[in-house]
Amino acid sequence: MYKLLTIAKNTFTETLRQPIYSVIIVAALFLFFISPSLTMYTMSDDSKLLREIGLSTLFLTSLFIAIFSASGAVGEEIENKTIVTVLSKPVSRPIFIIAKFLGVSGAVILAHYICTIALLMSIRHGVLETVNDTHDWTVLGSAGVVIGLSFLLSAFLNFTYGWKFSSTAIITGSILATFALVFLCFIDRTWHFNPEYNGINTFDVYAAVLLLLAAILIVAIAVALSTRFNIVVTLSACIGIFLLGLVNDYVFGRLAAEHWWGNIGRYLIPNLQVFWISDAIYEANEVPLKYILISASYAICYTVGILSLAVALFQRRQVG
């Protein structure tokens, strides 16, 4: 267990220090910031479009972080020969694969958590549909305080103790964003204590949880592919599986009854449509907790199966 946690911790730290990790998060936060302005020019259903754009941004952000981070978790160590040093110690190969998966998954969860808070803030602010609508200064003020304090604390810790600025800012921002979200749960847009009308919807929380499950599933696939292929092939394959997973029912589901290969593809390719509930936004349907549990069971079973395959593929992989 100590070896497992040590490798997972190092993988988590290395992932946070990758430049692409910070770039994707900053780009996502910028999109969340401008999304209320992008959706204010529709003829109707501005709030529904805001929610769909926000969930799409969250989905793509988590999946791209999962693909880029997990692809290099094993592949780079094999190419740089650093894996030889690790495996020369009393560290078994299954422990190494599982630790890499846990480390990357932790980084993906952290990024997804930060972007989920930004999504909830964006939806809480809403769209200014008429000229009489005003900005939600509680949201804007809270976001400004989080960004400003994160920047100042990270700059201070970087200058004083030499901590890496990007990873420190991400961790500090996640902590401060948690306090900001708790503050918004109790304070309404008029700066009054009013938790019943805080603008936080359980539907958005459930949707974010489902998208996180999809991202963890992609992490497992990327780790499995990186045990046998280089980073370029792993990235290409993960993007292809991601696109096929979004149209699984259309490509394989309608052909499963007529062609044997359609039935095989239906079960081998992950059905990412299970985790995408945008239809419920426009149909105004509630998402029951039972659906979340069933989807989580599907994601866990698929992830365990893929990790088992990853361990089997890595057992006889030449790394020296």
pLDDT single digits (tens) 182-210? 999 998 888 888 888 877 888 888 999 99
Contacts of 233 (CB under 8 A, 6+ apart): 225
Residue 229 in 3-state DSSP?
Answer: coil
Residue 169 pLDDT grade (very low, low, confident, very high; cuts 50, 70, 90): very high
* pLDDT tens profile 59-69: 999 889 988 88
Residue 193 in 3-state DSSP?
Answer: strand
Residues in the chain: 320
Contacts of 311 (CB under 8 A, 6+ apart): 93, 94, 97, 98
Nearest by Cα to 210 from 117, 119, 105, 299: 299
Q: How many CA atoms lie within 13 A of 56 on its CB side?
A: 12
* pLDDT tens profile 65-111: 988 888 777 777 777 777 777 777 777 888 888 999 999 999 999 99
Contact present, 55 and 211 (Cβ < 8 Å): yes
Q: Say yes or no to pLDDT of 266 above 80.
A: no
**Percentage of the residues of the chain whose pLDDT score is greater than 70:** 92
pLDDT of residue 271: 87
- How far apart are the C-alpha atoms of 67 and 243, rounded to whole Å? 13
Average pLDDT, the chain: 85
Kindly report the pTM of this predicted structure. 0.90
Query: Identity (one letter) of the amino acid at 293?
Result: L
Range list of H helices, the chain: 2-17, 19-38, 46-79, 82-88, 93-125, 137-161, 165-186, 202-226, 231-246, 248-251, 260-268, 279-282, 289-315
pLDDT of residue 84: 73
Q: Say yes or no to pLDDT of 130 above 70.
A: no
Residue 40 CB: number of other CB atoms within 10 A? 16
pLDDT of residue 287: 80
Residue 44 pLDDT grade (very low, low, confident, very high; cuts 50, 70, 90): low
- How far apart are the C-alpha atoms of 134 and 37, rounded to whole Å? 13
Q: What is the mean pLDDT of residues 23-49?
A: 81
Q: What is the mean pLDDT of residues 23-44?
A: 83
Extract the tokens encoding 206: 């459930």
Extract the tokens encoding 155: 């700059």
Contact present, 99 and 7 (Cβ < 8 Å): yes
Extract the tokens encoding 185: 């749960």
Q: Say yes or no to pLDDT of 176 above 70.
A: yes
